[in-house]
Amino acid sequence: MKWLAGFSMPVVIYMVFRPKSGSVNSAGHNSALTVDSHLSHKPLNDSFSEDRVVEPHSEGVFGEPVPDVSLPKRKVRSGCDEEPVLPGHGDPGKDCGVLREMICRDCGHHFQAERSCMMRECPNCYHKWASKESKVASWRFWTGCKFVRVNLMIPKSKARRAHCVISFRTDGTLDTQRKVAIQTAKEHGILGGLMVYHPFRRDEERHYVPDGYVHFHILGFAKGDIPPGGTDDGIVFKHIPHPDGGDFRGFRSISEVQKCIFYLLTHCGVIKGRHSLTWWGELSYNSLSTQRLDAVFEGRELYCQSRGILCPSCGSRNTEPLMMPHEYGFPSKEPIHHSPGAGVPWGGLNDAL
């Protein structure tokens, strides 16, 4: 054993207790993979050779089943859209029209009002949906135009908030039609804005019917005057003047924008899973997020909040739904009475318990 005198203790222990090549350990696995294989200076790619690649649903290195780790397939939108319908030509939402208890915070009067689903397909609520969407869209359009004007250093005298209509033959999917409308708007100097999809026109009996054409109403921001319109390659572009003065300087207040959007949404095209109102260009969500607008302009939540239901007793709109005991987890069906001006229910809880 004199030849071991020149080695350190860890090396001596390894050389004495080193497992033989090809031996099988107590677990039944081949122990040929020793420390030498890890200390050898092999290329790094050898550890990932082709014979060690594990396919999904195959056996692993030691024969154990390997779960499927493949990524889920991305959902690709179909090239064909459904036939568009008018708002209000669908089924009501869940519990829409069901009476519920209400309370007035000013006078304490209890009354009943119908629930609203706020869906564009609902025959009873599509006007409420249009009103809510018009508030949100008008606020974003009005403040977004201000933001873009200052960001691009456009003089206020040359800024235009225009209303245009682009019409052409119905061809391709909705995405293709939107691209044609956006490209046409950019050619006429519009930098960005919102667009509402309209696949119907009024007939002689004032009914909205498809006629083989599609038109998009565009509320956009432009630098300088926009040409009145014209026809080019079957695409009709029309700049709508202001209803009061007849000029082409565009909208003068945010209330005018809201009324226009509300009217456009009441007879727009509705396709399941698709937006009827979209943003593009400098006012798109990729270019201008809502967080950036909120950081500069205040009052969005106050302007966009929905008005309460009118109290039949005092005429106030400071009303809210009255919580029921079963909504708090109690079995009783009697309403929980609220104190006017207080947000915490009182009275009747002891009986329910």
Q: What is the pLDDT of residues 249-267, one digit of tens each?
A: 789 999 999 999 999 999 9
Distance CA 140, CA 304 (A): 10
Q: What is the mean pLDDT of the chain?
A: 77
Output the pLDDT for position 322. 81
Sheet strands (E) in the chain? 99-104, 110-114, 159-169, 190-198, 201-202, 208-209, 213-223, 229-232, 235-240, 277-281, 319-321
pLDDT surpasses 80 at 109: yes
pLDDT range class, residue 229, cuts 50, 70, 90: confident
Higher-pLDDT residue of 295, 43: 295
| CA-based radius of gyration for the chain | 34
pLDDT surpasses 90 at 195: yes
Q: What angle do CA 129, 191, 283 make, to 5 degrees?
A: 40
Higher-pLDDT residue of 245, 326: 245
**Cα dist from 22 to 34, 63, 157, whole Å:** 10, 18, 88
pLDDT surpasses 60 at 27: no
The 10 Å Cβ neighbour count of residue 171 is 11
Quick one: average pLDDT of 213-224? 94
Quick one: average pLDDT of 45-58? 40
Quick one: average pLDDT of 195-217? 91
Output the pLDDT for position 327. 56
Taking a C-beta distance cutoff of 8 angstroms, is the pair 326, 332 a contact?
A: yes
Quick one: average pLDDT of 271-298? 93
| Size of the chain in residues | 353
pLDDT range class, residue 180, cuts 50, 70, 90: very high
Quick one: average pLDDT of 265-289? 94
Quick one: average pLDDT of 210-233? 88
pLDDT range class, residue 232, cuts 50, 70, 90: confident
pLDDT surpasses 70 at 303: yes
Output the pLDDT for position 65. 52
pLDDT range class, residue 42, cuts 50, 70, 90: very low
pLDDT surpasses 80 at 169: yes
Output the pLDDT for position 326. 56
Of 63-77, 101-115, 150-164, 283-297, where does mean pLDDT reach its minimum? 63-77
Amino acid occupying residue 13: I
Q: Report the candidate in 123, 120, 126, 161 with the shortest Cα–Cα distance to residue 140.
A: 161
Quick one: average pLDDT of 149-157? 92
Could you give the percent of the chain with pLDDT greater than 70?
A: 68
